Amino acid sequence: MGTTLYSRIASDLRDQIASGEFPPGSTLPAIPELMTRYDAARDTVRDAIRVLSVEGLVTPRRGIGTVVRETSPVRLEYAPIGAARTWEAQTAGEGTDKLVSAEWEQADRDVSSRLRVDIGERVIRRVRHHYQGQGIVQVHEQWIPGTLAELIAAKGGGDLADTTRGPGNIFQEADAAGRKPASTTERITARMPDPDEREALELPVGVPVLVTNRTTVDVDGQPIESSHIVSASDRVSQSFTVQLG
């Protein structure tokens, strides 16, 4: 394909991986072997391997070799929504949700536009980590209008800023407080993680994150919550089922 040596090597190896010559879990030929095979210098071979690495095909491991990744990792279903409560129940049933922080803060420009409150107004910001099996797969940042939090507390629903309470179910709590959730809008995109996200989600090189921005409003169109959700795309997919009119 490419006209340069390293891209030819990369192309060859890519084809061999695709053809099953190097199945998932196996290792590619070692760098010295590839050097002699292609009469190339070490860094040229490494350039080729790096290409495959950023494509998400292989993971080089010191002392081990260049390991071929799983082609179809088990993709855990994350959010078959249709009703927010269903979503809450299903994620809880499939994995573990951990409330990392929950505190009052003042809305900045972004939060104010999400929740349609004034800049500086008090809101609750909660951060949750979602685990599936061994590791973390999702970092969920959520904002809730202060007025709603106070309403819920007044109706005996508890303190949303209390970390020891656990994540709870904001949709049920809002409903019980008379603010019935009516619709959710999600916007999904993808990008490469920044170093913090790569570390937090334990992402290998070449794996992007799914970014979901969600806002849930009540029957009057007033926001109940807004979320910024970052998911490891090698372990999470997002599903929707929509009934058509």
Partner DNA sequence: GAGTGGTCTAGACCACCAA
Partner DNA sequence: TGGTGGTCTAGACCACTCT
Contact, 69 vs 57, CB < 8 A? yes
* Nearest distance from C-beta of residue 197 to a second copy, angstroms: 10
* Nearest distance from C-beta of residue 9 to DNA, angstroms: 8
Residues in region 46-75 near a second copy by CB under 8 A: 50, 54-56, 75
Rule CB under 7 A: is residue 109 a binding residue for DNA?
A: no
Bridge partners of 136, per DSSP, are 131
112 alpha carbon, distance to own chain's centre: 23
Which 3 state secondary structure label does DSSP give 156?
coil
- Position among 1, 25, 39, 74 found at the interface with DNA (CB under 7 A): 39
Residues in region 46-75 near DNA by CB under 7 A: 46-47, 49, 60-66
Site size for DNA (CB under 7 A): 26
Contact partner at residue 191 from a second copy, DNA, none, CB < 5 to 8 Å by partner kind? a second copy
The mark string for 181-220 relative to a second copy (x by CB under 8 A, - otherwise) is xxxxxxxxxxxxxxx---------xxxxxx-----x----
Q: Which of 30/192 has CB closer to a second copy?
A: 192
Contact, 243 vs 83, CB < 8 A? no
Burial 161-199, CB ≥16 within 10 A → b, else e: beeeeebbbbbebbbebebebeebeeeeeeeebeeebbe
Rule CB under 8 A: is residue 244 a binding residue for a second copy?
A: yes
Q: What is the C-alpha separation between 97 and 130, in angstroms, rounded?
A: 5
Residues 6+ apart with CB under 8 A from 101: 125, 126, 127, 163
The DSSP code for 203 is P
Residue 153 structure tokens: 């507390």
Residues in region 2-21 near DNA by CB under 7 A: 4-7
Q: What is the C-alpha separation between 43 and 31, in angstroms, rounded?
A: 9
Contact partner at residue 210 from DNA, a second copy, none, CB < 5 to 8 Å by partner kind? a second copy
- Position among 15, 18, 23, 32 found at the interface with DNA (CB under 7 A): 32
Q: Which residues bind DNA (CB under 7 A)?
A: 4-7, 27-28, 30-33, 39-44, 46-47, 49, 60-66
Q: Which residues bind a second copy (CB under 8 A)?
A: 1, 11, 14, 43, 50, 54-56, 75, 77, 81-85, 171, 181-195, 205-210, 216, 233-234, 236-245
